[in-house]
Amino acid sequence: MKRKILLTDCPDAQGLIAKITYICYKHQLNIIKNDEFVDHTHGRFFMRTELEGRFNDETLLADLDDTLPMGAKRRLVAAGKKRVVILVTKEAHCLGDILIKSYEGALNVEIAAVVGNYDKLEDLANKFGVPFHHVSHEGLSREEHEAQMRAVIDGYTPDYVVLAKYMRVLTPEFVSAYPYRIINIHHSFLPAFIGARPYQQAYDRGVKIIGATAHFVTDDLDEGPIIDQHVIPVDHSFSAEAMAKAGRDVERLVLTRGLRQVLEERVFVHGNKTVVFK
Amino acid sequence: MKRKILLTDCPDAQGLIAKITYICYKHQLNIIKNDEFVDHTHGRFFMRTELEGRFNDETLLADLDDTLPMGAKRRLVAAGKKRVVILVTKEAHCLGDILIKSYEGALNVEIAAVVGNYDKLEDLANKFGVPFHHVSHEGLSREEHEAQMRAVIDGYTPDYVVLAKYMRVLTPEFVSAYPYRIINIHHSFLPAFIGARPYQQAYDRGVKIIGATAHFVTDDLDEGPIIDQHVIPVDHSFSAEAMAKAGRDVERLVLTRGLRQVLEERVFVHGNKTVVFK
Amino acid sequence: MKRKILLTDCPDAQGLIAKITYICYKHQLNIIKNDEFVDHTHGRFFMRTELEGRFNDETLLADLDDTLPMGAKRRLVAAGKKRVVILVTKEAHCLGDILIKSYEGALNVEIAAVVGNYDKLEDLANKFGVPFHHVSHEGLSREEHEAQMRAVIDGYTPDYVVLAKYMRVLTPEFVSAYPYRIINIHHSFLPAFIGARPYQQAYDRGVKIIGATAHFVTDDLDEGPIIDQHVIPVDHSFSAEAMAKAGRDVERLVLTRGLRQVLEERVFVHGNKTVVFK
Amino acid sequence: MKRKILLTDCPDAQGLIAKITYICYKHQLNIIKNDEFVDHTHGRFFMRTELEGRFNDETLLADLDDTLPMGAKRRLVAAGKKRVVILVTKEAHCLGDILIKSYEGALNVEIAAVVGNYDKLEDLANKFGVPFHHVSHEGLSREEHEAQMRAVIDGYTPDYVVLAKYMRVLTPEFVSAYPYRIINIHHSFLPAFIGARPYQQAYDRGVKIIGATAHFVTDDLDEGPIIDQHVIPVDHSFSAEAMAKAGRDVERLVLTRGLRQVLEERVFVHGNKTVVFK
Instruction: Identify whether B222 is a catalytic site residue.
Output: yes
Nearest to C192 among A39, A189, A239 (CB): A189
* pLDDT at D222 (0 to 100): 87
Contacts of C18 in chain D (CB under 8 A): 18, 21-22, 24-25
pTM of the model: 0.96
> Which DSSP string do the residues of B208-222 spell out, in sequence order?
SEEEEEEEE--SSTT
CA C225, C228, C232, C238 dihedral sign is negative
The 3 state secondary structure assigned to B50-87 is EEEECCCHHHHHHHHHHHCCCCCEEEEEECCCEEEEEE
* pLDDT at A196 (0 to 100): 87
Report the candidate in D180, C100, A117, A200 with the shortest Cα–Cα distance to residue B98: C100
Q: Are C109 and C82 in contact (CB under 8 A)?
A: yes
Tell me which CATH code domain C2-78 carries: 3.30.70.260
Nearest to C18 among D22, D32, D38 (CB): D22
Q: What is the dihedral of CA B194, B200, B202, B206, to 10 degrees?
A: -150
Which chain C residue has the Cα nearest residue B237?
C33
The 3 state secondary structure assigned to B88-113 is ECCCCHHHHHHHHHHHHCCCCEEEEE
Residue type, C216: F
Tens of pLDDT, residue by residue over A33-43, are: 999 999 999 99
Nearby residues of B138 by Cβ (< 8 Å), 6 or more positions away = none
Buried b (16+ CB within 10 A) or exposed e, C238-267: bebeebbeebbbbbbbbbbbbbbbbbbbbb
Tell me which CATH code domain B83-276 carries: 3.40.50.170
Q: Are D111 and D102 in contact (CB under 8 A)?
A: yes
Q: How far apart are CA D157 and CA A48, in angstroms?
A: 55
Residue type, C94: C
Using CA atoms, how far residue A93 sits from A89, A98, A104, B202, C206, in Å, is 11, 9, 16, 36, 27
For chain C, how are helix, strand and coil distributed in percent, rounded to 5?
Answer: 35, 30, 35
* pLDDT at D226 (0 to 100): 98
Domain boundaries, chain D: 2-78, 82-276
Q: How far apart are CA D125 and CA D95, in angstroms?
A: 8
**Contacts made by residues A128-133, CB under 8 angstroms, sequence distance 24+:** A128/A99, A128/A102, A128/A103, A128/D127, A130/A99
Longest dimension (CA), chain B: 62
Using CA atoms, how far residue A229 sits from A216, A222, A254, C242, in Å, is 12, 13, 6, 19
Residue type, B236: H
Nearest to A96 among D92, D100, D249 (CB): D100
Cβ contact, residue pair B229, D239, below 8 Å: no
**Active-site positions of D?**
222
The residues with which C4 forms a beta bridge, in sequence order, are: C51, C78
Tens of pLDDT, residue by residue over A33-81, are: 999 999 999 999 999 999 999 999 999 999 999 999 999 999 999 988 9
Contacts of A45 in chain B (CB under 8 A): none
Q: Is D121 left (phi over 0), alpha (psi -120 to 50) or beta?
A: alpha
Catalytic annotation, pick one of A9, A63, A97, A222? A222
Q: Are A124 and A96 in contact (CB under 8 A)?
A: yes
Q: How far apart are CA C170 and CA C188, in angstroms?
A: 19
Nearby residues of B152 by Cβ (< 8 Å), 6 or more positions away = B85, B113, B115, B133, B135
Report the candidate in B137, B124, B131, B123 with the shortest Cα–Cα distance to residue B170: B137
Residue B120: strand, helix, or coil: coil
Q: Are C224 and C215 in contact (CB under 8 A)?
A: yes
Residue A171: strand, helix, or coil: coil
Nearby residues of A49 by Cβ (< 8 Å), 6 or more positions away = A5, A6, A7, A8, A20, A21, A24, A31, A33, A34, A35
Catalytic annotation, pick one of B222, B228, B235, B249? B222
User: How large is the average pLDDT for residues A96-100?
Assistant: 97
Is residue A222 scored above 90 in pLDDT?
A: no
Low-confidence ranges of chain B (pLDDT < 70): none
Q: How far apart are CA B179 and CA B161, in angstroms?
A: 10
Q: Check: CATH 3.30.565.10 for A82-276?
A: no
Cβ contact, residue pair B21, A21, below 8 Å: yes
* pLDDT at C249 (0 to 100): 94
Nearest to A104 among D93, D103, D253 (CB): D93
Low-confidence ranges of chain C (pLDDT < 50): none
Q: Are A90 and A57 in contact (CB under 8 A)?
A: no
Q: Are D169 and D186 in contact (CB under 8 A)?
A: no
Burial (CB < 10 A; 0-12, 13-18, 19+), residue D257, is middle
Angle at D194 between CA D192 and CA D197, to 5 degrees: 105
Chains in contact with A, where contact requires at least 3 CB pairs less than 8 Å apart: B, C, D
Q: Which residues on chain C place their C-beta less than 8 Å from a C-beta of chain B?
A: 92-93, 96-97, 99-100, 103-104, 106, 124, 127-128, 245, 248-249, 253
**Parallel, antiparallel, or unpaired for β C132-134 and C109-116?**
parallel
Residue count (chain B)? 278
Is residue A247 scored above 90 in pLDDT?
A: yes
Written as tens digits, the pLDDT of chain D (278 aa) is: 899 999 999 999 999 999 999 999 999 999 999 999 999 999 999 999 999 999 999 999 999 999 999 999 999 999 889 999 999 999 999 999 999 999 999 999 999 999 999 999 999 999 999 999 999 999 999 999 999 999 999 999 999 999 999 999 999 999 999 999 999 999 999 999 998 899 999 999 999 999 999 999 998 878 999 999 999 999 999 999 999 999 999 999 999 999 999 999 999 999 999 999 99
Gyration radius (Cα) of chain B, Å: 21
* pLDDT at B6 (0 to 100): 98
Using CA atoms, how far residue B24 sits from A19, B16, B51, in Å, is 12, 12, 8
